[in-house]
Amino acid sequence: MYKVFVNDKPLFLTNIISKETDFQLFLLESIDIEQLIVKIFQNKIQKAYLYHPDEKEIMKTLKAKIPVCKAGGGLVHNKNGEILFIFRNGKWDLPKGGINKGEAIENTAMREVEEETGVSNLRILSKLQKTYHVFKRNGKYKLKITHWFEMYSDFEGTPVGQIEEGIEKVAWLKPDDIPEALKNSYENIKLLFEEEKLLD
């Protein structure tokens, strides 16, 4: 099953029909995806299932219905066990950004972390899950697939937010401060921390 967030509301792509009542169920093959997205943005639908019988075809079917852009991002630790966060558009987020043509996704993730935060000396430790969300640019809805990597940096300087990307501040947050920051973050970012088991 895939979770795609539209305006921070979940759209579940599944090959199993469940008996839950508070979800609306749509057939992925025949749905007008843009109409559904608009209804979610207008708060007419809170959460929905998109059903397709073949799990292997689910994401391929969705990608055929909506333009896709790929991004890479980092969940960066330092030697003090802190994690690098950025603050943008009134929410805490993790550094990430779009892939350049011909670039390996790992390089995208490290480049974007460095550009958005000024933190260098990055080393990838492991690959985390991908996250999916729908956004609107130039009047068109797009599906952003972000490849996340756990990273480490021994950077000693002061992180600096990339002004042209609207980053107001960059901070190394202590583990105890992260749950509070996540209350004012995005569902996709919360998913990464659930996977990391960093939140008890």
pLDDT digits (tens, 9 = 90+) for 36-62: 999 999 999 988 999 999 989 999 999
pLDDT digits (tens, 9 = 90+) for 143-175: 999 999 999 999 999 999 999 999 999 999 999
pLDDT digits (tens, 9 = 90+) for 93-130: 999 999 999 999 999 999 999 999 999 999 999 999 99
pLDDT at 200: 40
Considering the domain architecture, whether residues 144 and 182 belong to the same structural domain is answered as: yes
Separation between Cα atoms, residue 135 and residue 144, nearest integer Å: 7
Which CATH number belongs to the domain containing residue 185 in this structure? 3.90.79.10
Separation between Cα atoms, residue 38 and residue 41, nearest integer Å: 5
- Domain assignment of residue 53, given as a range: 2-65
Query: Measured in Å, how far apart are the chain's first and last C-alpha atoms?
Result: 24
pLDDT at 197: 56
Considering the domain architecture, whether residues 48 and 139 belong to the same structural domain is answered as: no
Considering the domain architecture, whether residues 61 and 75 belong to the same structural domain is answered as: no
Considering the domain architecture, whether residues 36 and 86 belong to the same structural domain is answered as: no
Considering the domain architecture, whether residues 96 and 147 belong to the same structural domain is answered as: yes
Considering the domain architecture, whether residues 176 and 156 belong to the same structural domain is answered as: yes
Identify the bridge partners of residue 89 per DSSP, sorted by sequence position: none
Considering the domain architecture, whether residues 61 and 106 belong to the same structural domain is answered as: no
Last residue of a domain, one of 30, 65, 100: 65
The residue with tokens 């799990």 is 55
Considering the domain architecture, whether residues 140 and 46 belong to the same structural domain is answered as: no
pLDDT at residue 8 greater than cutoff 80: yes
Last residue of a domain, one of 65, 83, 100: 65
pTM of the complete model: 0.91
Separation between Cα atoms, residue 11 and residue 5, nearest integer Å: 6
